[in-house]
């Protein structure tokens, strides 16, 4: 009896000691777990599983696209570890689980097995990205690396908070090559974004080949020069431009689609159209001549709303755009037709006989609202055309001024009010407020150390603090489809600078888009950034270290994580 008692107590003691050790090891694991965006449901288990030369089994019922995504993960693992995977034995087991939603995934790593389940491409892509972020950062590189190739034992069930998780790219003000655009998509993939909003046309350059209007790229894709720095009246006299052929656009769309990313094209209308007017001056109220703009700001010249040829033009352009881009949504712009800082200015629409005739025909009363009513007419007509092709429109929040036809989605950029108003009126909305999500804004207050920029102040922590449902009328929350950050490129001439503005702010964006409210935690996010910087180094992507006090593009002394860690150690700066 006594013996049994001792034995029983010893067992209990052992159990307690083991549990304490397990808890300590699990909480240490939780501390070092640095996946961004943080998965929504993680259980930390004891131990780790080696993945070097592990087996990979892929359920044959998984669709071709998802198998290709898993294949890219396996390829990255083999390259980084320098060891081929095997067909059988302990290791990865990728399984189709039709009970999961298209963006959900499940990972269970235990007893030398790594079970991965999803039902569709996006789920498999996100599972692979989570696995990659749990491994040494070298998995994002393209060479063999010496590292501890193990995965921690965990169970993860994960799904995004918002369906629409976007990042915008302006390729009009400055032009990005196909390779640079694909790299942009690669970082979006790493952080589980699913929509690229491609701003393809603007006053400073038309970037999309339209076969029925060839002058759009022959003339509209090129400007004679660009203003220098903040001096809008200067000009460097250097011809600048470029455009994407339809084949190149399709290549980017396919590349994104393989990674679960939809590309939404934007043809900004009826404003921001000077490049098109330079190509086809008859589409403007005055007939021109116009020149592709070499300065930044809001151009007074826009498409004439009274000329039927303009609608033929828009329908012709949008038909080709819809033929190239399979996205459910087509973005038709609608912003800044009139300068909000020049309320009393006289615009071509005020003076144009064709626009006046259109207003009379529509019964629009003269007055300060007349212009907005005429813009409503243009929006509604284009929306009808886009809808007739089975697609839906998105427009900047100016489209809400006046009447807006049912079925339009509003992109709230002038703060959060547009989104609040749209949702309350029953329209879907995407939140992109400049107050939190304009990545062309400065990241530090020490502007003298930063490259020339548009202004503003948007450090990483402010981005992270954004809560998309704040202020939304109770009951209208479901109209908020999701969140996007915008990256306008007037002041961003190089890819190095583009990536510097994008990262790590896009990582903060990813947690706004993905993480449930209770999973967001800036301290935990901040502690994960060291690993993210290593990942970006491995990818060869630039990023800002303003959040670590190393301000500016030329962030000396470090250009890679090892040098940076050394610098930080010596200077007592934390990751
Ligand atoms: C915008 O920033 N003009 C939408
Ligand atoms: Zn006109």
**pLDDT digit string, tens, across residues 272-286:** 999 999 999 999 999
CB 241 within 8 A of CB 221: yes
Ligand 1 atom 3: residue of nearest CA: 335
Three-state SS for 473? coil
Question: Residue 28: pLDDT band by 50, 70, 90 thresholds?
Answer: confident
Between 178-190 and 121-134, two packed helices, what is the crossing angle to 10 degrees? 80
Omega cis (within 30) before 504: yes
**pLDDT digit string, tens, across residues 49-63:** 999 999 999 999 999
Cα(204) to centroid(ligand 2), Å:
21
Least confident of 3-7, 278-282, 407-411, 546-550: 3-7
- Residue 336 Cα: closest atom of ligand 1: 3
Confidence (pLDDT) at 3: 42
The pTM for the full model equals: 0.94
Three-state SS for 101? coil
- Candidate of 266, 333, 396, 439 to mutate for ligand 1, largest count of ligand atoms within 8 Å of Cβ: 396
Least confident of 343-357, 446-460, 553-567: 553-567
Confidence (pLDDT) at 29: 78
Q: Is the CB of 413 under 6 A from ligand 1?
A: yes
Question: Residue 395: pLDDT band by 50, 70, 90 thresholds?
Answer: very high
Cα(54) to centroid(ligand 1), Å:
49
Question: Residue 26: pLDDT band by 50, 70, 90 thresholds?
Answer: confident
Question: Residue 571: pLDDT band by 50, 70, 90 thresholds?
Answer: low
Structure tokens at 544: 């800002």
| β-sheet bridge partners, residue 114 | 92, 109
CB 270 within 8 A of CB 305: yes
Mean pLDDT score of the chain, rounded to an integer?
93
Q: Which ligand is closest in space to the CA of residue 270? A: 2
Q: Is the CB of 268 under 6 A from ligand 1?
A: no
- Residue 413 Cα: closest atom of ligand 1: 4
Between 495-502 and 505-514, two packed helices, what is the crossing angle to 10 degrees? 40
Ligand 1 atom 1: residue of nearest CA: 335
Confidence (pLDDT) at 530: 93
Question: Residue 566: pLDDT band by 50, 70, 90 thresholds?
Answer: confident
Confidence (pLDDT) at 570: 67
Q: Is 89 left (phi over 0), alpha (psi -120 to 50) or beta?
A: left
- Residue 434 Cα: closest atom of ligand 1: 2
Q: Which are the contacts of 469, defined by CB distance < 8 A and separation ≥ 6?
A: 477, 480
Confidence (pLDDT) at 10: 56
Q: Is the CB of 335 under 6 A from ligand 1?
A: yes
- Residue 411 Cα: closest atom of ligand 1: 4
Confidence (pLDDT) at 2: 41
Q: By C-alpha distance, which of 442, 511, 431 is closest to 197?
A: 431
Ligand 1 atom 2: residue of nearest CA: 413
- Candidate of 199, 298, 413 to mutate for ligand 1, largest count of ligand atoms within 8 Å of Cβ: 413
Q: Is the CB of 108 under 6 A from ligand 1?
A: no
State the Cα–Cα distance between residues 545 and 533, nearest whole angstrom: 9
User: What is the secondary structure of 370-435 as a DSSP string?
Assistant: HHHHHHHHHHHHHHHHHHHTT-EEEEEGGGGSS---TT-EEEE-SSSHHHHHHHHTT-EEEE--HH
Residues labelled as active-site residues: 202, 272, 336
- Residue 488 Cα: closest atom of ligand 1: 2
Confidence (pLDDT) at 12: 55
For the ranges 28-32, 381-385, 542-546, the one whose mean pLDDT is highest:
381-385
Question: Residue 17: pLDDT band by 50, 70, 90 thresholds?
Answer: low
| β-sheet bridge partners, residue 396 | 411
State the Cα–Cα distance between residues 321 and 330, nearest whole angstrom: 9
Q: Is the CB of 339 under 6 A from ligand 1?
A: no
State the Cα–Cα distance between residues 429 and 438, nearest whole angstrom: 17
Average pLDDT over residues 120-135: 98
Question: Residue 575: pLDDT band by 50, 70, 90 thresholds?
Answer: very low
Q: Which are the contacts of 90, defined by CB distance < 8 A and separation ≥ 6?
A: 49, 54, 55, 112, 113
How many Cα atoms sit within 13 Å of 371 on the Cβ side?
24
Cα(401) to centroid(ligand 2), Å:
20
């Amino acid at each position: 009896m006594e013996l049994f008692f001792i034995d029983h107590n010893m067992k209990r003691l052992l159990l307690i000691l083991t549990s304490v050790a397990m808890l300590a090891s699990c909480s240490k694991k939780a501390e070092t777990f640095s996946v961004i965006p943080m998965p929504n449901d993680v259980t930390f288990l004891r131990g780790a599983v080696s993945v070097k030369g592990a087996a990979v089994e892929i359920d044959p019922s998984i669709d071709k696209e998802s198998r290709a995504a898993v294949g890219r993960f396996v390829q990255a693992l083999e390259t980084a570890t320098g060891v081929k995977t095997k067909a059988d034995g302990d290791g990865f087991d990728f399984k189709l689980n039709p009970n999961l939603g298209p963006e959900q995934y499940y990972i269970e790593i235990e007893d030398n097995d790594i079970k991965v389940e999803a039902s569709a491409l996006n789920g498999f892509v996100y599972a692979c990205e989570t696995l990659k972020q749990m491994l040494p950062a070298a998995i994002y590189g393209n060479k063999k690396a010496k590292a501890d190739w193990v995965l921690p034992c965990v169970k993860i069930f994960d799904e995004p908070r918002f369906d629409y998780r976007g990042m915008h790219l302006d390729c009009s003000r400055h032009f990005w090559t196909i390779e640079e655009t694909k790299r942009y998509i690669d970082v979006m993939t790493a952080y589980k974004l699913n929509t690229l909003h491609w701003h393809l046309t603007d006053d400073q350059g038309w970037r999309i080949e339209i076969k029925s209007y060839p002058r759009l790229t022959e003339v509209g894709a090129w400007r004679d020069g660009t203003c220098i720095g903040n001096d809008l009246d200067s000009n460097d006299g250097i011809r600048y431009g470029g455009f994407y052929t339809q084949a190149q656009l399709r290549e980017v769309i396919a590349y994104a689609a393989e990674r679960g990313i939809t590309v939404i094209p934007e043809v900004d209308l009826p404003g921001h159209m000077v490049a098109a007017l330079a190509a086809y001056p008859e589409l403007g109220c005055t007939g021109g001549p116009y020149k592709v703009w070499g300065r930044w700001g809001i151009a007074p010249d826009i498409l004439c709303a009274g000329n039927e040829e303009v609608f033929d033009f828009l329908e012709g352009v949008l038909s080709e755009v819809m033929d190239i881009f399979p996205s459910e949504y087509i973005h038709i712009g609608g912003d800044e037709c009139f300068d909000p800082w020049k309320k009393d200015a006289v615009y071509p629409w005020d003076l144009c006989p064709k626009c006046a005739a259109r207003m009379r025909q529509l019964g629009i009363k003269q007055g300060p609202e007349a212009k907005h009513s005429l813009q409503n007419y243009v929006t509604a007509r284009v929306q009808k055309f886009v809808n007739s092709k089975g697609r839906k429109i998105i427009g900047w929040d100016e489209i809400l001024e006046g009447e807006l036809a049912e079925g339009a989605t509003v992109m709230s950029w002038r703060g959060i009010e547009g989104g609040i108003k749209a949702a309350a009126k029953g329209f879907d909305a995407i939140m992109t407020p400049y107050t939190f999500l304009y990545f062309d804004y400065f990241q530090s207050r020490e502007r003298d150390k930063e490259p020339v920029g548009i202004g503003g102040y948007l450090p990483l922590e402010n981005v992270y603090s954004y809560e998309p449902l704040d202020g939304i009328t109770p009951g209208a929350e479901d109209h908020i489809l999701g969140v996007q950050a915008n990256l306008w490129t007037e002041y961003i001439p190089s890819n190095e600078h583009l990536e510097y503005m994008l990262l790590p702010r896009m990582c903060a964006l990813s947690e706004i888009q993905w993480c449930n409210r209770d999973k967001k935690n800036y301290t935990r996010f901040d502690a994960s950034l060291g690993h993210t910087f290593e990942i970006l180094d491995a990818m060869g992507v630039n990023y800002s270290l303003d959040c670590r006090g190393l301000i500016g593009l030329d962030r000396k002394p470090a250009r890679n994580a090892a040098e940076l860690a050394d610098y930080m150690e010596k200077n007592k700066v934390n990751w």
